Structure 1
Amino acid sequence: MTHTLSVLLCLGLCLVQRMKAQADTLPKPSLKAESSFLVPRGRNVILRCQGSVQADFYHLEKEQGSARTVIMSVKPSGIEGEFHIPSVTEEDAGTYVCLYKHSLVWSERSDPLELVVTGLYEPPSLSALPSSEVASGHNVTLQCQSESWYTTYALYKDGQQITQDIAPPHGTGSQAKLFIQAVNSTHEGTYQCYTFQISSPQKWSSSSNPLVLRVTDPASQDYTMGNLLRLSLAGLLLLLLGVLLAEAWHSQRGP
């Protein structure tokens, strides 16, 4: 009996070591959201888990507190598993990971993916002070303001996040400012901002109105100002000439 138990224990340890060795050879999967991890409520999204041609099937897990719950299981398509969410809701916001199985062996989990659902609150407003058209080398302040109070804001430029910070209270709402010093052509682009509560970091407001920031050449501004001055002087001269002609006409009619 003792010999049999020893053999079984040895076989079990060997099997565990073999499975561990196989797991170490399986590539770690990666999880990405098609198009963007920012998904407006009601839109569809596809989460792609890229693993290995050896995969038999893929799991998508969502973090639920300190635990993870399997949300979907799919057969592989090439080296990927595709997870379709046809109409995103507030409940779909959260942190996801994926993994796959080959034979009796599971791969390690992917790095987490934060799926953010937007359009859950009213949009903030975004403005540029003093203007959205700024001369190169000058300063500009981007202001994201909401009539409701939110603890955090995120500012995006051309679809890429450039900052995320606290939104201080402002009256009955909240307001955040980004000061950009000595702007140049790299600051040109389309900006948008979102607001959300730090307690629900994957549940965001609708996007603000797009703000197009244009950076102009100071020399061209000086040239334009010079043209305006010349046109103004020409207008005054024409007005003066008109007055002189009118007086001359009246003086000729008098006799």
Structure 2
Amino acid sequence: MSQSACLTSDLSSFSPEPGTTMSPSLITLLGVGLWLSQWIRAQEGTLPRPTLQAEPGRLIPHKKSVTLRCRGFPGAEMYRLRREESSQHIDVPTSGREAEFPISSVTPDTTGKYRCLYKNQSHWSEPSEPLDLVMTGWYDKPSLSALPSPEVFSGENVTLRCQSQQWYEKYVLDKEGGANPSYIQVTSPFADFHIIEVTAAHGGSYRCYSLHSDTLYEWSAPSDPLELRVRDASRQDYTGGNLIRLGLAGLVLLILGVLLVEAWHSQRGHLEAAQKPLPRQSNQA
């Protein structure tokens, strides 16, 4: 087992019990331990992999700005940003834990798959996980609708249809706050995204995009948002049972009402017959 692995394992024993508060000295000790483990790995030539993020996000409207932030080792001497579609790279000398790479205007020439890495002494880290920088607003926005309805009960099926005025080879469905968008490859003016057995987790705001297969990082403008509302099926059953019971109760009341009216008319007829004077009999001499 390496020294860094042992140190990380030992530090885990300092974790506080649930519900307790970590003291400042313990927080400092954990921070120093993390830094020390990374320093040991740097001496061994295995630097931790950096992370690459885009702010305000990876979907940027045409000609708007974005900042790519690479976060790595505190003792890094240089950060490098690479675009896989190009042989060029950008180096930023720094002694900090992160470096910023601003892009003032996103165009087709700046979109693509990016990675970053950093240098410590004579060692370069492994590249970060790829980040896809996408430009939106390159084509007219499509429309997004829910079939049969944007309000469904849990357990039901729903289809989200992305409709364009032109034919495209790819369509993308993106959920606000979702991890990864969904792709459909189909040459058509529309694409159907089927959600089978909807759960509460499927609820939220959706948008869709259209694009061509030869320009994967140039998307249309986003559709207007569609709010998918998922209702609890158990409440539906409960409401249905109540409606059935109310309907039966109403039917019973209606029958009782009819019987009461008939009884009243029958009683009234008997009373009128009893009160009617008998015909007089003629006296015969």
Confirm or deny a common fold (TM above 0.5).
yes
Matches within 5 A, 1:125-164: 125-160=143-178, 161-164=180-183
In structure 2, relative to structure 1, the CA distance for the partners of 1:224 and 1:147 (3 Å cut) is farther
Aligned counterpart in structure 2 of residue 210 of structure 1, from 190, 214, 225: 225
SS in 1 for 2:84: strand
In structure 2, relative to structure 1, the CA distance for the partners of 1:108 and 1:138 (3 Å cut) is closer
- Contact 1:192/1:210 (8 A) holds in 2: yes
SS in 2 for 1:90: coil
- Contact 1:140/1:179 (8 A) holds in 2: yes
* 1:196 CA displacement: 1.0
Counterpart residue number, 1:122: 140
Query: What RMSD over aligned residues (CA atoms) do the two structures have, in Å?
Result: 2.9
Aligned counterpart in structure 2 of residue 184 of structure 1, from 151, 175, 199: 199
2:59 is aligned with 1:44: no
* 1:151 CA displacement: 0.5
Decide which structure has greater strand share.
1
- Contact 1:23/1:105 (8 A) holds in 2: no
Cα distance in structure 2, aligned partners of 1:23 and 1:148: 56
Structure 2, gaps ≥5 residues long? 1-41, 248-285
Which whole-Å deviations, capped at 9, do the CAs of 1:60-109 have from their partners, x for residues lacking one? 12123xx5211x32233631111111222222111112222333443333
In structure 2, relative to structure 1, the CA distance for the partners of 1:139 and 1:76 (3 Å cut) is same
**Aligned residues: percent identity?**
44
In structure 2, relative to structure 1, the CA distance for the partners of 1:213 and 1:77 (3 Å cut) is farther
Cα distance in structure 2, aligned partners of 1:131 and 1:44: 37
Aligned counterpart in structure 2 of residue 58 of structure 1, from 65, 79, 85: 79
Which residue type is aligned with residue 114 of structure 1? D
2:92 is aligned with 1:74: yes
Which residue type is aligned with residue 64 of structure 2? R
- Contact 1:23/1:107 (8 A) holds in 2: no
Bigger Rg, structure 1 or 2: 2
Which residue type is aligned with residue 39 of structure 1? I
Normalising by structure 2, report the TM-score.
0.63
* 1:207 CA displacement: 0.6
- Higher relative CO (Cα under 8 Å, sequence separation at least 6) belongs to 1
Structure 1, gaps ≥5 residues long? 1-20, 230-255
- Aligned residue-pair number: 204
SS in 2 for 1:122: coil
Normalising by structure 1, report the TM-score.
0.69
Counterpart residue number, 2:5: none
2:108 is aligned with 1:90: yes
Counterpart residue number, 2:186: 167
Counterpart residue number, 1:237: none
Aligned counterpart in structure 2 of residue 193 of structure 1, from 208, 212, 236: 208
- Contact 2:198/2:230 (8 A) holds in 1: yes
Counterpart residue number, 1:107: 125
Counterpart residue number, 1:24: 45
